Amino acid sequence: MSDNSNNHKNDEKAVNCPVEGCKKEVLARGLHLHVRQSGGGNHGESGEVPENVDLEDAKEAGTQEVEMEYPESRDSEKVARLCPYCERPFRGKHGVMIHLGQIKGRKDHPENGPELHEPEDFDIVEVDDKGNVESVIEKGEAESLSTTEQRIENGGSDESTERIMKHIEELREKGLEEEAERAKEMLLRD
């Protein structure tokens, strides 16, 4: 333990790997990584999760004690920065980089998102107390990505737009008008 850190212990949920023949017990938060990195056999090719493996259906195996070392102070930004792909705000440049690493290859985010960007690429924004973006304070160095509307005008696929519009309709049917309006604004944002 270093002089500038605090140790913290807690019990975290553990699950059994759902891959047939694997008897490994892993932390629930690390199951996806375990399956992707355990290439060969029923785990499939390294770096992928086989289609027949349902990670959501892993059986709980109890808990494991986890010890974490947290620094007493962090050198982090106190501003919100936008992800250039989903336009969600995150705390500081490191927050966006963590997000890109966690979601890479999914939800319209590139597989190599963390490698494509430098932390200074992301817009600094002002957010309200509900996490809604109110204004852009400083533009990042990344080239602006086109909006859905611009992609359609340039001959791009509007398949994702249709999925989003369906989601907005479902939100309205559930009486979630505020969430539906926010999703619509994000879809049409320039």
- Tell me: pLDDT of 51 over 80: yes
Read off the pLDDT of residues 105-138 as tens digits, 9 standing for 90 and up.
Answer: 777 788 887 888 887 888 888 888 888 888 888 8
3 state DSSP class of 156? coil
Quote the Cα angle for 152-155-159, to 5°: 55
What is the rounded CA–CA span in Å between residue 143 and residue 141?
7
Residue 45 DSSP class:
S
Tell me the residue ranges of DSSP E strands in 30-123: 60-71, 80-82, 89-91
pLDDT score, position 16? 92
Helical residues (DSSP H) of 30-118, grouped into ranges: 31-37, 92-103, 113-116
Question: Phi, psi (5° rounding) for residue 88?
Answer: -90, 140
In sequence order, what are the beta bridge partners of 8? 68
Assess whether pLDDT exceeds 70 at residue 158: no
Residue 7 has pLDDT above 80, yes or no: no
* Arithmetic mean of pLDDT over the chain: 77
Q: Can you read off the two tokens belonging to residue 137?
A: 């304070």
Residue 184 has pLDDT above 80, yes or no: no
